[in-house]
Amino acid sequence: MSKENNSNSVGIVETQFFTFDKLELESGREIAPVTIAYETYGTLNEDKSNAIFILHALSGSAHAAGYNSPDEKSPGWWDIYIGPGRAFDTEKYFIISSNTIGGCNGSTGPATINPSTGVQYGLDFPIVTICDMVKAQRRLMEHFGITKLLAAAGGSMGGMQSLAWSILYPEMVHSVLAIATAARLSAQGIAFHEVGRQAIINDPNWSRGKYYGHQIPGAGLSLARMIAHITYLSEQNMHERFGRKFQENDPDAFSFKTEYMVESYLHHQGDKFVDRFDANSYLYITRAIDLFDLSSGYGSLIPAFEKVKANYLVISFTSDWLYTSSMSRDIVQALRGNGKNVVYTNIETDKGHDSFLIDNALLQKNISNFLRRQYDEISWKNDGA
């Protein structure tokens, strides 16, 4: 079956671009102009009440589902959950997915040409935060004429953005799906990010971020990805997939050229990442995650959620040691402390943090059932208006 005719796929999709004048940042600086890369799936209904914003994780992009061309080998990063009859049912919902500012997949970031200098921003690009990303996404939503989202949804950093949406714009979000995420990153998580950043910064080709048009810091970026990827898996999953097996059938164990299967896997992940991601964007996005703290300015999480109006679905995974189940429970407890409507599920799995990217029947069911209730609720309100 072709990609265009696959009944379970959104088929061939085109990445589009929206540009607006400027964005004032939390740091006090501004970016001008700002371009947001985005894709849409499904059809916006007449009263514009079926829109869902999908927010991506650290290395994601606007390309969440379908294929950008008939020759593309792999579909968008959340394709297994987006499409006709899937959890994010494109026969029912209008899905928007955008690349965050600071990224390197079409939205304004450090690899973008700085209009004041005529060359790439590099480290002249200002530090951006999760809230800055959400403020830019709001401009895109306004571009569509959407005044309220049916849902803001995402995993990992995407979950952080979905939570921030509901706090920054409580009147504009009917529901939130926060998956494998946290209200703030742990010290351990920050530590892993810093080791990754140092791998890039200490690559001789990094050149203080001015490598555009020259040799890229591929070794440093690859190493950063290898380090990060270890945190996305669980020890049990790594053992079951790789064990202590060598990649070669007849290995020379007394040689550094001989690789264990797990070593070969990590090298492959690092090499793939270099082909599709910008090293400076990695620095900026990991810093944005580090800076994220929903309780900042509130004293604790409970007052942070005091004025939210959304319904929440919070999902964690038992083997996720980067964004632990206890981090999700902190969010749930703060919401319940405010009397908010929240459903919490801790899914048993050995796949680690990356579980939200893997097809999981229970995750599909939780998302599908929650969204169905939210859509029925908002449709009932609109019919009764």
Catalytic residue numbers, as ranges: 156, 320, 353
User: Under 8 Å CB-to-CB from 178, ≥6 apart: which residues?
Assistant: 154, 159, 162, 163, 312, 313, 314, 315, 328, 331
- CB-CB contact of 25 with 32 (8 Å): no
CB 355 within 8 A of CB 324: no
Other C-beta atoms within 10 Å of 308: how many?
A: 21
Structure token digits, residue 275? 């082909």
- Cα–Cα distance for residue pair 139/7, rounded to 1 Å: 32
DSSP string, 203-269: STT-GGG--TTS---HHHHHHHHHHHHHHHS-HHHHHHHTTT-BSSSS--TT-TTS-BHHHHHHHHH
> Distances in Å between the alpha carbon of 251 and those of 243, 247, 255, 262?
15, 8, 9, 14
Distance CA 153, CA 352 (A): 20
Q: Cα separation of 192 and 286, whole Å?
A: 10
Determine if the peptide bond prior to 204 is cis (ω within 30°): no
The token pair at 364 is 């599909």
Q: 71: phi > 0 → left, psi -120 to 50 → alpha, else beta; which? A: alpha
